[in-house]
Amino acid sequence: MRNAGLRRNGWRGLLLFAVVALLLCGSRVSAQGSGPTEYQLKAAFLFNFAKFVDWPPDSFASPQAPFLICIVGNDPFGGAIDSTLRGQSIRGRAVAVQRVQDVSQLRHCQMAFVSSSERRQLQEILQNIQGASVLLVGESPGFAAAGGAIQFGMKDDRVRFSINPDAAARAGLRVSSKLLSLATIVHDAGGKPKG
């Protein structure tokens, strides 16, 4: 019985991995409304990223605490992230979305999406979350190289992403090799400004 459960969980993981790969390779951003918008896709990516990253148990306030995805700065998702993540759970924890303006609140998030409106505050954000297990995701050019963990980009009307494994490791997070294999890998100068 135990082996059957392991096989079933293994298949679920592979199925989820296939969904991420399909999103990465096959989904074009729709300008005419016939398919998903850029931010609907990015919301789905955020949810799927969480399936392939391990957080330490002490990064949650309690065993019942939700998995908190925070958006700092101007919210480019609108209602797309709320509707995409409504009713979802990650490893038995309900997913909650919170918009924050004060970067000190990010220490309580498991994942933080840094809006491009905050690109000039990236070093302040990195200093504020130092020592906290926060997966920092953004879309500004150079975000991953400057110390963010995951950076979204667009190529040929498709959402792409880069991962900075150094930044994830500094946050105490372990990124699955399956997710790493789908990304462009970027390294940084220890989360400090270059130059």
**192 in a domain, yes or no?**
no
83 lies in a domain? yes
Nearest Cα neighbor of 66 from 85, 49, 53, 48 is: 85
Residue 122, domain member (yes or no): yes
- Whether 73 is covered by a domain: the verdict is yes
Structural domain includes residue 195: no
Q: Decide if 191 is inside a domain.
A: no
Q: 62 to each of 40, 57, 65, 67, 175, how far by Cα in Å?
A: 30, 9, 5, 11, 23
The pTM assigned to this predicted structure is 0.82
Structurally, how many domains does the chain consist of? 1
In a domain, 194, yes or no: no
Residue range of the domain that includes 38: 2-185
Helical H runs in the chain?
A: 2-26, 38-51, 80-85, 122-129, 165-170, 177-182
User: Is 9 part of a structural domain of the chain?
Assistant: yes
**CATH code of residue 180:** 3.40.50
Q: pLDDT in tens for each of the 195 residues of the chain? A: 444 444 444 444 444 444 444 444 444 444 445 678 999 999 999 999 999 999 998 999 999 999 999 999 999 998 999 999 999 999 999 999 999 988 989 999 999 999 999 999 999 999 999 999 999 999 999 999 999 999 999 988 899 999 999 999 999 999 999 999 999 999 986 545 444
